[in-house]
Structure 1
Amino acid sequence: MSRDIASELRESARERNGARPKGPDLPYVGDLTSPSGLPLRRYRPADRPRPLVVFLHGGGWVHCDLETHDGTCRRLARECDVEVLAVDYRLAPEHPYPAAIDDAVEVLRWARPVAVAGDSSGGYLATMACLRLRDEGCTPPAVQILICPNTDLTLSQPSVTEKGAGFGLDADMLAWYAAQWLPDPARRRAASPLHHADLSSLPTALVVTAEHDALRDEGDAYARRLAEAGVRVRHRREPGLTHGFIQGTDPDATAAHQRLFADIRALIPR
């Protein structure tokens, strides 16, 4: 049953993507694979070398892919003047925790980007990969860019109830996603970045949350915990917006994109 629902969600995501405007044309967009065979897509905004950002898409660990976030990656590359390497990591329920984290870590070790970015569950993967690299004594990217990130698999933050119906990302769907990613509820707290005992020595963080998002409070709380641990943090809650605004095309979402891109340009080492 879970795999049937996952298939329906994947097809729905593809249909939504087909209705979105195509992203900007770039001098180079090409597909390649990681050393282990993961599909990747590289976006270059110019012929000359630019800083590299690894991008991990959202989708509740269950759906979305290189195509659904192609426009987002194109805009990120052009507006921030960076190369983007998008990762088609393995999806749950076929590949539950920690498969997608393993994939993210592999690509970060191999590509050695200056930053890792992700929206929603992709933000979760970005920060979990940074935690693992730090704990293993490896150098993580200089910057982590977390857009409406999952950080608390226990779903215990107030916004899950307050904003968990009527704003596009419902609490019952969040619970289903978490169950596909990590079926054992007893393990979810330990697998949550927000509840990690030590957040020190992590990369500079840009954390952007949305007012009407069920994940709002866990993103806000993670930004606070990072700052308390001595991590440099730039944090903003976007007023009036909902989860997934990064793929929106209305004027409010577009304005939020420009603020996000300005923050990234300011933080990326050149």
Structure 2
Amino acid sequence: MKSPRDFIPEINMQPAKEFMSAMREQVERMKPTPDSIYAIHNSMRRMTNQFDTPGPEMRDVQDFNVPRTDFPVPVRLYTPHQASDGPGPTLIYLHGGGFVTCSIESHEGLCKRLASGSGMRVLSVDYRLAPQFPYPAGPDDCEAVLKWALQGYGQDDYNIDRAQIALGGDSAGGNMTAYLCQKYRDQIKAQILFYPLMQLVDFKPPKPGPQDWLQLGFMALKFIDEHYTHGADTQDTRLSPLFEKDLTGIPPTYVLTCGLDPLRDEGKLYADNLSAHGVKVVYVYEKMLPHGFLNFARAFPKGRKIPLDAADFLRDTLRASAA
């Protein structure tokens, strides 16, 4: 059987230039109004199709709903060939997209790489999005899925071991992951934060640089403030987990930040805060990569390597916790 790393061929960087050009066009056209959200969804789908590559083949892929009284939550479970036949460790993954776009479809390649690399099941959550469903709909959905797994409801039918749950996410998904790992720190075994959005108070990085000339971060955070937070207290750690003062007991954490990302400073600060509280942290900094590159693995070859490195961290951490 091929190693997951065999799926990383030598690729020229011309697609990366094409990606950055397409991203600039999208930013220039984007107008932060609710009516534009459908165009943003379509643009993300086109860009993912153009710049991402399929993930490794899975043993099984299942779509189902996690039951709730009001809004059942759609999820997709990726089972890699190496996964246990019985209940085993599972990563619950919360996709990014600024709380307003992306889906289990846009993040399928990334989730498959995490599953294949770690040998663990990955449960991807299709939570509700703003502006149709503003805060706290998305976090409520993600917490409902986490509680469902931790309470053992996925064990018999889906082989999700309640005692071996990890949580991960990118960008907005990293925001919700960080908060939920704070709240359920005694039950979660590991967390992955890919270029996480850690606070919703300040729209600009504390030390703006030339990489911020597009103002993509400012525009995105302004949209989030107007159409997602919807007047909620952004100082609350459920919206801004960076402000949590007590980080003792947080599970081992993998943090990725990027030099071409307006969120780079807050991700690094959270990693430092975790380390200061005695949390085991693997911190990775990719100086020349932009926010969101993991969804565009054809343009950025490290979009295939980084998930495998994070998968190594997951596998080793879960194995140590089970020993």
Question: Fold-level match, TM-score > 0.5?
Answer: yes
- TM-score of the superposition, structure 2-length normalised? 0.75
Pairing 1:59–2:97 present: yes
Q: TM-score, normalised by structure 1?
A: 0.89
The one-letter code matched in structure 2 to 1:78 is S
Moved more, 1-10 or 93-102: 1-10
Q: Within 5 A, what are the aligned runs for 1:123-134? A: 123-134=174-185
Partner amino acid for 1:45? P
- Give the match for residue 7 of structure 1: 38
Q: CA deviation at 1:244?
A: 1.1
Which runs of 5 or more residues in structure 1 are unaligned? none
The offset of 1:16, in angstroms, is 1.9
Corresponding residue for 2:166?
115
Contact 1:33 1:39 in 2 (8 A): yes
Q: Counterpart of 1:189?
A: 235
Q: Secondary structure at the match of 1:51?
A: strand
Unaligned runs of at least 5 residues, structure 2: 1-31, 151-163
Match of 1:84 in 2: 122
Amino acid at match of 1:86: S
Q: Judge which range, 23-32 or 108-117, deviates more.
A: 108-117
User: 1:76, 1:39 → 2: CA distance?
Assistant: 20
Shift of 1:268: 2.7
Write the distance in 2 (CA, Å) between the matches of 1:208 and 1:82: 20
Q: CA deviation at 1:254?
A: 3.2
Do structure 1's residue 71 and structure 2's residue 109 form an aligned pair?
yes
Say which structure, 1 or 2, has more relative contact order (CA 8 Å, 6+ apart): 2
Give the one of 44, 49, 66 matched to 1:34. 66
Alignment coverage as a number of residue pairs:
264
CA RMSD of the aligned region, Å? 2.2
Shift in alpha-carbon separation, 1:255–1:45, aligned structure 2, 3 A: closer
Select the structure of larger CA radius of gyration. 2
Contact residue 124 and residue 150 of structure 1 kept, 8 A: yes
> In the aligned structure 2, how far is the partner of 1:160 from the partner of 1:96?
30
Q: Which residue among 275, 286, 303 is the counterpart of 1:253? A: 303
- Identical-pair percentage: 34
2:49 aligned counterpart, secondary structure = helix
Q: Given the alignment of the two structures, is residue 43 of structure 1 paired with residue 78 of structure 2, yes or no? A: yes
Does the aligned pair in 2 maintain the 1:105–1:133 contact within 8 Å?
no
